[in-house]
Structure 1
Amino acid sequence: MPFSNLSRPLYEIKASLFKGLAHPLRIRILELLSESEELSVGFLQRETGLEASHLSQHLSVLRRYRLVTSERRGSHVYYRITGERVAEMLTVARALLLDVLSEDGSRLEGALVGSEQSR
């Protein structure tokens, strides 16, 4: 269990959480779920293009890290994020990434302008 040894330092527990997030398709699944109240496994499969077994593995990891929860209704299983904090984390990560990319773009632009002036 990812959080079973809570006597570890908080930074180690955080690192464990980030390991659970460390796959692009798990981020995609969380983003899809954050945009809806809940989604069926079938919908997630269509949107991600994953085979059922691979999607199941990713959802299992997200459940283990308590980022999503599921509910079976009849023959269908529905997933939702476990709370608003998960959606907030995705929003903050997106904003941070845009800041970094913008800064890198500004540096690149400055370097290109500088190299053209030296010609």
Structure 2
Amino acid sequence: MNKPRKSKQLNFDSLSLAAECLKALAHPHRLQIVQLLLSGQQLSVNEIAEHCDLNQPTTSDHLRLMHRCGFLSSQRSGRTVFYSVSEPHLQDIMSCIQDRFG
């Protein structure tokens, strides 16, 4: 039997920030984008939009929100912006989702 893990109690401000960031992931298209980017490649907004069957402005909005929370990083090359995962714990979150709902 697994013993419960003891963890440090977070203060309310930290929990509030965590809730805001988790809300940023709480959308099926954003989870789909994270899943795609966890493959390790950098993808442009248009490549992500095409893969997720979204229009470019909607995709940009999703990416901007996740970038603001620190989940993604972006790199500009000319007029094209490429995105990649910058938060290594996203893999743990997606693994938890896969274990629960996969």
TM-score under structure 2 normalisation?
0.79
Q: Distance in 1 between matches of 2:74 and 2:26?
A: 21
Task: Quote the offset at 1:93 in angstroms.
Answer: 2.2
Alignment RMSD (CA, Å): 1.7
User: Hey, what does 1:95 align to over in structure 2?
Assistant: 99
Distance 1:86 1:9, change over 3 A: same
Q: Distance in 2 between matches of 1:67 and 1:51?
A: 21
User: Hey, what does 2:7 align to over in structure 1?
Assistant: none
Task: Quote the offset at 1:55 in angstroms.
Answer: 0.7
Name structure 2 gaps, 5 residues minimum. Answer: 1-10
- Structure number, greater radius of gyration: 1
CA deviations 1:4-53 (Å, max 9, x no partner) are xxx74433222112111111100000000001321121210110111111
Comparing both structures, which one devotes a greater share of its residues to helix? 1
Name structure 1 gaps, 5 residues minimum. Answer: 1-6, 99-119
TM-score under structure 1 normalisation?
0.69
Match of 2:86 among 82, 85, 91: 82
User: Hey, what does 1:58 align to over in structure 2?
Assistant: 62
The number of aligned residues is 92
User: Hey, what does 2:26 align to over in structure 1?
Assistant: 22
